A and B are shown apart, each in its own frame.
Chain A
Amino acid sequence: MPQDLAEIYRTTYRALVRFLYRKVWDAERAEDLAQEAFARAVVHKPDNARGWLFIVAANMARDDARRAARERRHLTLLTAEPQASEPAADDALHVENERTRVRAALEQLTPRDREVLLLWDSGVSYEAIAAQTGLARGAIGTTLARARRRLVEAYEAGQRGEHVARG
């Protein structure tokens, strides 16, 4: 591995896993894909390795997501329906529920808004996001503002829905 790529691995691997996890929703799978992205980077030696990694990761996650599409629709349906969550759920279950809600909220964003938001949350700069998504750099702030707002709204709507259903 070239020296600079080793450094990028050190600084970017976790961000890439984070980015991938929000797409495949499986930690092991996200790590595998991240490793694979780095393995490909070793081969291709891209100039902008960091940006390149996220592009490759996004493509790999999309392919992966197609395979999991059916499962995800099923899960979305489950989330939309009143969840039979136990009143005294333990911490692990609580965390899992929160994750499911955030995931469901993310699913309601447009693919482009979601992509920009996830890239930003993984530490990618506006400029790199613009390069990756094809958006104008000046549009990234607007897109992020919309994505954030929709995420929060969708999440809170989900909670309200649960409360309404429960109440």
Chain B
Amino acid sequence: MYGLEAINANNGWAISVVGVTIVFSGLVTLSLVISQLYRVLALWENPSKIKTLFKAKQPKNQSEEFQEKEIIDQAVFTESQKEGAKQFSLLIRTMENHFSLPRLLHLAQISDLKNSHSNLNNLLKTNIIIPDGSGFFTWEKETFDKAIL
């Protein structure tokens, strides 16, 4: 038996469709799971974030906004910290808009920036560098200008 007759007789079409479907479902499921893996790990490492996930998002009222602004305004940078922040701003210009924090730190270290860890920490605390929600970070130029320049 040859040709289409052989394929039909051996249930070839059904086997092929089922086979392709199973391979696709397996890899699609796997890719979905691993695409969320780093988020789950982030929650695992910082359980307090779980609570915030279930809290309904409330619009910020004026006083909260004011407090936030105050935190930035009150963040007093020493001269050397300001210098460090400026050096970071130069480094960031060489990177993508959404950059990886370990890579930034690595670049700072190989560029011999002084106190790179603590300067980076200051930038994070003062929301000059903020997470974009997908594992990368962005540089808030306005906040930087207000706090440093």
Do A and B bind?
A: no
Q: Which residues of B contact A (CB under 8 A)?
A: none
Q: Which residues of A contact B (CB under 8 A)?
A: none
